[in-house]
Amino acid sequence: MDLAEIFRVMRRRWYVLLPGLLLTAGLVTGAYLRVPLTYQSQSTVVLLNSQKATVAFDGNPFLSTQTSLTGMADSLARNLNSDASVADLRAEGASGSTLAKIADNAQGPLMWLTATGTDKAAVLHTDRLLTAYAAKRLEQFQVQQSVAPKAMIRMATVVPPQIPVAKTKTRTEYLVLAALMGIVISLVATFWFEASRRPARAAAAGTAAGATAAGQAREEAAAGREPAREEAAAPPDTHVRPAPRWSAARTGEPGPDGGPGPGDRGAPDPADHANPADTSGTQAHRFV
């Protein structure tokens, strides 16, 4: 089936295709209304060495980086993603979902703190709560281990919580999926209906042709004529025809041996003309 045939079927079965397309439009509209637009806000924080560890660097924590700080950042991210931390954030007024992770391609103990939700203002508020809660949890860890204040790891905000940005990827994916599914179902229904109707159309055409032939036969019978029949093609004319008169030898001329000539054999036998296929006579010539 080529493209032209596909379009012909779609045009012929438009009453099947059109309701399917209308249902598809309704499905896409429902997905658009049911799937809300999400917003996302993100902040970036860094873990800094303690005051005691930066004495050799004149108190500059950015000059003192250790591998242990990255390990501490990973431990803190796992704690912030736990159910207990999520419950604490809910109690403080956070909404939506939160996520803490080590920043991608980071060359130090950098962390991303992300908040996601459907309310733009609530998302920004949640990201601010998450950033403050991360610093508090870092301090609680060290207090539980009885770490001296001057030896505690600190946290600094590199990028504060950003204005929430709309994330349309998920919503667009749902809309495209709904549209494709509706179109495919509509086309399948259209071609299935076309395939199911073809045998019925062929049977109806055969019945109509039989009825027409029967009607013509009845009309001819009523008019006193025999129904027209197809006659086989006549075979080619291959019978032997009699020789023309001008080809016969003249009467009275002697033969080569002095005997009677061929024209003195008397009158022709009527049987020779009645049976032209008889080739025993010397006066007959075969003309095909």
Residues 6+ apart with CB under 8 A from 134: 45, 76, 80, 100, 111, 113, 155
pLDDT in tens, the chain (288 residues): 678 888 888 888 888 889 889 999 988 888 888 888 899 999 999 999 888 888 888 888 888 777 788 889 999 999 999 999 999 999 999 998 999 999 988 888 999 999 999 999 999 999 999 999 999 999 999 999 898 989 899 999 999 999 999 888 778 888 898 899 999 998 898 888 888 877 655 565 556 565 666 666 666 666 665 555 544 445 555 555 665 555 554 545 555 555 555 544 444 554 444 444 444 444 444 444
36: Cβ contacts below 8 Å, ≥ 6 apart: 118, 171
DSSP letter string over 49-62?
--TGGGGGGTT-GG
What is the H or E stretch that residue 139 is in? helix 120-144
Report pLDDT for 128. Answer: 95
CA dihedral sign of residues 51, 56, 62, 68: negative
Assigned token pair, 245:
């008169």
CA angle 260/265/267 to nearest 5° reads 150
User: Helix (H, G, I), strand (E, B), or coil: what is residue 170?
Assistant: helix
Q: Which pLDDT does position 211 carry in this prediction?
A: 61
Task: Locate 188 and state its tokens.
Answer: 């399948």
Return the H-helix or E-strand segment holding 114.
strand 110-117
Alpha-carbon span 32 to 123, nearest angstrom? 21
Which overall architecture, per CATH, does domain 38-167 show?
2-Layer Sandwich (3.30)
> In the chain, what are the domain boundaries?
1-36+168-193, 38-167
Q: In 3D, which of 237, 44, 256 has the Cα closest to residue 130?
A: 44
C-alpha to C-alpha distances, 33 to 26, 47, 138, 199, 262, nearest whole angstrom? 11, 42, 41, 44, 116
Give the global pTM.
0.57
| pLDDT computed for residue 62 by the predictor | 83
Spatial distance between the Cα atoms of 108 and 47, rounded to a whole number of angstroms: 9
DSSP-derived secondary structure letter, 276? T
What is the structure's pLDDT at 235? 55
B/e letters for 164-193, b = 16+ CB within 10 Å, e = fewer, are beeeeeebeeebeebeeebeeebbeebbee
Q: Are strands 110-117 and 154-159 parallel, antiparallel or unpaired?
A: unpaired
The letter for the amino acid at 220 is E
Give the DSSP letter string of 20-88: HHHHHHHHHHHHHHHSPPEEEEEEEEEEE--TGGGGGGTT-GGG---HHHHHHHHHHHHHHTSHHHHHH
Give residue 60's pLDDT.
86
The pLDDT of residue 201: 59
